[in-house]
Amino acid sequence: MAIKSALRAATALCLISAVSVQADTITIATVNNGDMIRMQGLTDDFTSKTGHTVEWVTLEENVLRQRVTTDITTKGGQFDIMTIGMYETPIWAANGWLVALDDLSADYDAGDILPAMAGGLSYDGTMFAAPFYGESSMIMYRTDLMEAAGLEMPTAPTWDFIKDAAVAMTDKDAGVYGICLRGKAGWGENMAFLTATSNAFGARWFDENWTPQFDSDAWSETLNFYIDLMNEAGPPGASNNGFNENLSLFQQGKCGMWIDATVAASFVTNPNDSTVFDKVGFALAPNTGKGKNSNWLWAWALGIPAGTDNEGAAKEFIEWATSKDYIELVAANEGWANVPPGARQSLYDNPEYQKVPFAQMTLDSILSADPNNPTVDPVPYVGVQFAAIPEFAGIASEVGQEFSAALAGQQTAAEALEKAQALTVDAMEAAGY
């Protein structure tokens, strides 16, 4: 009898400990974007399904980058999942800092992830981060102002058309500017836009021997065109404008066109925040007829740092947050316009989502960006609006300051390009290229 009781107690203890082993608490570092906030609000669904609980660490984007980079390079082990992008993923994977996501369950249907996204988040053919949402860039324009200017936006406009339309739509006395573009310095701010734009003008960061190319005619044409356009039809103080500043201007009806992240479409068409929600059209980012558009490709993705104690629970979370079911969950709670876009083909096959006005243009923009072949001439790097090498962020931040100063009128485009070339040559030589 005593032995039986002891066995029962031992079995019960084993069961209790087994349950407690399975129910982990995972810590996730993320940014404060709308889609991430919605994910935090729906975490109870994950907990009810798996028993795991989640601790969120939400930080501003630049702080997050510094924070997670410090932690992963020192193996600090503070996070079980990190929100990272297409720039970090291949670099960190090459260093062995991320767990490969090559054993996700069959239900997850990894084959449904858009090839551009899966490719940008892979290293050596293996995916190391799963896309939570993906984005490209496109033109958002005021249909009423375009009509008043007597113009019609083509599906794939050229930069020359955009310049003519911007000038025609500008009414400075009424505080309406034909075009709003990023001018704030930063590798993820003005340099994301200008690098993507330079691709359409036939420019590139480096030639096949890693020689910087800011002394090329194509870069000169890119920067001069951008500065002339902004001087003629852009808002005042544009060198301080990033995504949020331009979003604010567009929502208040002060921009005729805005070329920026596709994710902005849900903001500018939201009647609660936007005064022009019912007058917005969409088109592909402009080209110059050289075979490349000016749009970028980016994904906010979830990756697991190597060495985490909670790898199993972390993988379960990633499967949950980037699954088809999660998209259905968001649609049921917040509506189809608010589901995380740009990650899965099945979303764009869904008739309900096809009714969302910006859905098709978002997909077309994503599909037209090729990170493995981003420029007119061949390049040795991967990435549309960046070059996926560790030195890029530092160099591009400095180059961004020179270009922003040129836009502000503190120096000429030629001077900015000369400085950009010199500092890039120095940095690349110091890095051993």
Our CB check for another protein shows the closer of 41 and 154 to be 41
3-state secondary structure of 201: coil
What is the distance, to the nearest Å, from the Cα of residue 114 to the centroid of all Cα atoms in its chain? 14
Q: DSSP code of 279?
A: S
Q: How far is the CB of 55 from another protein (least distance, A)?
A: 4
Question: Is 254 one of the binding residues for another protein (CB under 8 A)?
Answer: yes
Question: Is 56 one of the binding residues for another protein (CB under 8 A)?
Answer: yes
Give kind and range of the element (H or E) at residue 66.
Answer: helix 61-73
State which of residues 42, 45, 47, 58 lies at the interface with another protein (CB under 8 A): 58
Question: Is 264 one of the binding residues for another protein (CB under 8 A)?
Answer: yes
Question: Is 248 one of the binding residues for another protein (CB under 8 A)?
Answer: yes
Q: How far is CA 41 from CA 34, 46, 104, in A?
A: 11, 11, 24
Question: Is 252 one of the binding residues for another protein (CB under 8 A)?
Answer: yes
Extract long-range pairs of 12-19: CB within 8 Å, 24+ residues apart. 19/51
d(CA 158, CA 173): 27
Question: Is 333 one of the binding residues for another protein (CB under 8 A)?
Answer: no
Q: How far is the CB of 334 from another protein (least distance, A)?
A: 14
List, as one string, the DSSP characters of 339-390: SPPSSBHHHHH-HHHHTSTTHHHHHHHHHT--TTS-SSS--SS--SSS--ST
Q: Which stretch binds another protein (CB under 8 A): 53-61, 95-103, 212-220, 406-414?
A: 53-61
Q: How far is the CB of 244 from another protein (least distance, A)?
A: 6
Nearest to 34 by CA among 338, 289, 244, 270: 338
Q: How far is the CB of 240 from another protein (least distance, A)?
A: 15
State which of residues 11, 22, 32, 333 lies at the interface with another protein (CB under 8 A): 32
Residues in 175-194 that interact with another protein by CB under 8 A:
188
Q: Is 408 exposed, middle or buried (0-12, 13-18, 19+ CB in 10 A)?
A: middle
Our CB check for another protein shows the closer of 251 and 404 to be 251
Q: What tokens does 81 get?
A: 């999942």
Q: How far is CA 91 from CA 62, 84, 373, 427, in A?
A: 18, 11, 18, 18
Q: How far is the CB of 77 from another protein (least distance, A)?
A: 8
Neighbours of 335 (CB within 10 A): 12
State which of residues 171, 273, 352, 415 lies at the interface with another protein (CB under 8 A): 273
Q: Is 85 exposed, middle or buried (0-12, 13-18, 19+ CB in 10 A)?
A: buried
Question: Is 53 one of the binding residues for another protein (CB under 8 A)?
Answer: no
State which of residues 24, 50, 67, 190 lies at the interface with another protein (CB under 8 A): 67
Our CB check for another protein shows the closer of 273 and 415 to be 273
d(CA 97, CA 288): 40
State which of residues 72, 263, 330, 389 lies at the interface with another protein (CB under 8 A): 263
Nearest to 89 by CA among 124, 39, 37: 124
Q: How far is the CB of 267 from another protein (least distance, A)?
A: 7
State which of residues 97, 159, 193, 243 lies at the interface with another protein (CB under 8 A): 243
Q: 317, 52 in Cβ contact below 8 A?
A: yes
Q: How far is the CB of 189 from another protein (least distance, A)?
A: 9
State which of residues 38, 47, 59, 215 lies at the interface with another protein (CB under 8 A): 59
Question: Is 52 one of the binding residues for another protein (CB under 8 A)?
Answer: no
Q: How far is the CB of 413 from another protein (least distance, A)?
A: 27
d(CA 249, CA 230): 15
Q: Count the alpha carbons within 13 Å of 295 in the hemisphere toward its beta carbon.
A: 32
Question: Is 77 one of the binding residues for another protein (CB under 8 A)?
Answer: yes
Q: 413, 406 in Cβ contact below 8 A?
A: yes
Q: Which stretch binds another protein (CB under 8 A): 34-42, 149-157, 162-170, 391-399?
A: 34-42
Our CB check for another protein shows the closer of 192 and 399 to be 192
Our CB check for another protein shows the closer of 192 and 223 to be 192
Q: Which residues here bind another protein, judged by CB under 8 A?
A: 27, 29, 31-34, 37, 40-41, 55-61, 63, 66-67, 70-71, 74-79, 188, 242-244, 247-248, 251-252, 254, 261, 263-264, 267, 272-273
